[in-house]
Structure 1
Amino acid sequence: MTTGPNHPGDHPVRAAEDPAPAGEDLAALLTRLLEEAGGKSQKDLADASGVKHPTLNHWITRARGTSRIPPDSLRAIGNAFRTWGVEVTPRELFQAAGRPIPGAADEERERRLVDIYRQLPTKAQRALIQSAEAMLAAARASQ
């Protein structure tokens, strides 16, 4: 299933067809995926994703919360599993971590945003950052 572009410049993205089972948090999801990876350990996942092993272990043992996991770490974990032939979508990982699901990365939109930011005076740059932080907070609150 695909969804069409929502805004000019957006590209169609694949919707998650197999979301994480209801109630499956990040610890449960990672544990299940490691089992599906057959023989892969937390250390293997840490090495493959670039996430420090103690940090990953804290997420899996629920010793540390998941609300501040960098999106790039979740993406890297997903990439590691997919490299091992284990299917997992970014949506599954972000939902399990209780994080807002970011839109698909689009280099052209990112470049345009950076170009606009660089052209703004300092006061307007600060206002743009505050606005973006408010949008992110609202997205997190609506999860």
Structure 2
Amino acid sequence: MSTEERPETLADLIKRLKDEYDVKETQIARRIGVAPATVNAWVNGTRGTGRGPNPDKLRRLAEEFPRFTEREIFAAAGRKVPGPVDDDAEARILALYRSLTAEQQEMKEIEMRALAERNQLGSS
């Protein structure tokens, strides 16, 4: 058996956040725009859909509770931090997508969905 510490889970991080900010789960939920049951599920390690926390909600945690970084929060959730997409990049990607045939668009959507799901599962 290894003597190494186990990685911090999202439940661990939320408990630490509650202590550092002296907040309750309902206050966390209100500040990041989720139901209190969602934060409770994170604390108790239950996921519901099995897809993990929404990346936007994880980012909101970092915004609302800045003593915790996005990288730290995503790592605790077992996920990689999604890259930023500025308005110019989004416009370029959309322009490229619109130049594809319907079949190519469908294939790109399948590919992007698979990559996003892989990231949600914390794979590399």
**Fold-level similarity (TM above 0.5):** yes
Residue 67 of structure 1: how far off its partner (Å): 4.2
5 Å-filtered alignment, 1:24-63, equals 24-38=8-22, 40-63=23-46
Query: Separation in 2 of the partners of 1:119 and 1:104?
Result: 23
Q: Detail structure 1 runs of 4+ shifted over 6 Å in the superposition.
A: none
Between the aligned partners of 1:80 and 1:127, the Cα distance in structure 2 is 37
Q: 1:76, 1:28 → 2: CA distance?
A: 18
**Could you tell me how far 1:133 is from its partner in structure 2?**
2.6
State the distance in 1 between where 2:96 and 2:68 align.
35
Question: How far apart, in 1, do the equivalents of 2:56 and 2:75 lie?
Answer: 15
In the alignment, structure 1 residue 91 sits paired with structure 2 residue 71: yes
Cα deviation, residue 24, structure 1: 0.8
Question: Which structure 2 residue ranges, 5 or more long, are not aligned?
Answer: none
Q: Distance in 2 between matches of 1:137 and 1:27?
A: 21
Query: Which residue of 106, 109, 113 corresponds with 2:86?
Result: 106
**Aligned residue number for residue 12 of structure 1:** none
Query: Partner letter of residue 123 of structure 2?
Result: A
Match of 2:47 in 1: 64
Q: Residues 70-90 of structure 1, C-alpha deviation per residue, up to 9 Å, x if partnerless? A: 1111111221213xxxx1111
The counterpart of 1:129, out of the listed 102, 109, 118, is 109
RMSD: 2.1
1:118 paired to 2:98: yes
Q: Distance in 1 between matches of 2:94 and 2:73?
A: 27
Equivalent pair of 2:51/2:117 in contact (CA under 8 Å): no
> TM-score, length-normalised on structure 1?
0.71
5+ long unaligned stretches in structure 1: 1-20
How far apart are residue 109 of structure 1 and its match? 1.3
Instruction: Report the identity percentage.
Output: 33
Pairing partner for 2:64 from 80, 100, 109: 80
Which letter maps to 1:93? I
Deviation at 1:117, TM superposition (A): 1.6
Tell me which amino acid in the other structure corresponds to 2:109.
I
